[in-house]
Amino acid sequence: MGIPARSRYLAVAAAVCAAMAAVVAPANAAPAPAPCPAPRAGGPGAAAAPFKVWLAGDSTMANGSGTCPVGWGREFDRLFNDDVTVVNNAVGGRSIQTWLYESNVKSTKDSTGECVVSPRTYAARWSGMLAAGGMRAGDWLIIQFGINDGDRNCPRHVGTTRYRQLLGTMAREAKARGVKPVFVTPVAAIRCSGSTAVGNRGFVDETIAQGQADQVPVIDLHRRSVALYNSLRLCPNDGNYSEGAVGAFFCNDHTHFEAAGAARIAEVVARALREQGIGLASSLR
């Protein structure tokens, strides 16, 4: 962790004043300069107010355990300066609905084809983020779902309309607390068409459309991750995920990341923040 900018500024200012005070004025010289005023908060080099970046998503974002799988959220904190704390509340195996409502999502569907949710009480992870000790004004919330949501069966199943409704709900509740949300499309698995990696996730268009509807910035991680796989020449692949460049990036499956792969995906998200001019980028190292 580096020395915060404000601390460096104060140290330099103090050194300059000490040097001036050490000079002995000759006889009949002009009066010594007045002592340096204490640096004022908000002046040059003043530290930014600390804030948190909250993450909500599935296993491709979650911290994970051991060496594999590792979600990109575990590698995200190191990309920020000292004033930022990343709080990773992503959980493996969740759709947006099971992440929000957990055990209240039933194994049966209603007349619209959506899983029954009863009672409609939030799980502890989201209710805690909404409580007094959770998200605060000035924080950011990054949301990435869409991988497990396409399950045909409850409780993970989420239809496209319901998916958009829940994204919108999370964005509105964050904004109501002065928190700035960012939507992220689902990261791609590795799937090859000959020597070319190709897209393979659903809910990409829905995520982008809801971002436009809610005026929330959207990082198209699906498209960007496919581009990364092609730049790394991870295709063609015969389905062996344990060796070579693919084995170094993915666990022994086509979806989850080794630590090195997770770090590359985190860097892709950080690059998108910069390229898209999203305000959070100003706190990247």
The Cα–Cα gap between 200 and 186 comes to 10
The Cα–Cα gap between 146 and 246 comes to 23
- What pLDDT shows up at residue 43? 40
For the chain, give the DSSP string.
-PPPHHHHHHHHHHHHHHHHHHPPPPTTPPPPPPPPPPPPTTSTTPPPPPEEEEEEE-TTTS--STTSS--GGGGTGGGB-TTEEEEE---TT--HHHHHHGGGEEEEE-TTSPEEESS----HHHHHHHSTTS--TT-EEEEE--SSTT-SSTTT---HHHHHHHHHHHHHHHHTTT-EEEEEPPPPP--EETTEE----SSHHHHHHHHHHHT--EE-HHHHHHHHHHHTT--S--S--SSHHHHHHB-SSSSPBPHHHHHHHHHHHHHHHHHTT-GGGGGB-
The structure's pTM equals 0.83
The answer to whether residue 28 sits within a structural domain is no
- What pLDDT shows up at residue 239? 83
The answer to whether residue 108 sits within a structural domain is yes
The answer to whether residue 12 sits within a structural domain is no
The answer to whether residue 17 sits within a structural domain is no
In which domain, by residue range, is 163 found?
46-283
Give me the CATH number covering residue 140.
Answer: 3.40.50.1110
The answer to whether residue 4 sits within a structural domain is no
The Cα–Cα gap between 193 and 198 comes to 7
The answer to whether residue 142 sits within a structural domain is yes
Q: Cβ atoms within 10 A of the Cβ of 253, count?
A: 13
The answer to whether residue 9 sits within a structural domain is no
153-169 residue pLDDT tens? 999 999 999 999 999 99
221-280 residue pLDDT tens? 999 999 999 999 999 988 888 889 999 999 999 999 999 999 999 999 999 999 999 999
Please count the structural domains in the chain. Answer: 1
- What pLDDT shows up at residue 242? 87
Q: What is the pLDDT along the chain (285 residues), one digit of tens a residue?
A: 444 444 444 443 444 344 344 333 344 444 444 444 444 333 444 456 899 999 999 999 999 978 899 999 999 999 999 999 999 999 999 999 999 999 999 999 999 999 999 999 999 999 999 999 999 999 999 999 999 999 999 999 999 999 999 999 999 999 999 999 999 999 999 999 999 999 999 999 999 999 999 999 999 999 999 999 999 999 998 888 888 999 999 999 999 999 999 999 999 999 999 999 999 999 999
- What pLDDT shows up at residue 166? 98
Residue 97, Cβ density class (10 Å: 0-12 exposed, 13-18 middle, ≥19 buried): buried
The answer to whether residue 70 sits within a structural domain is yes
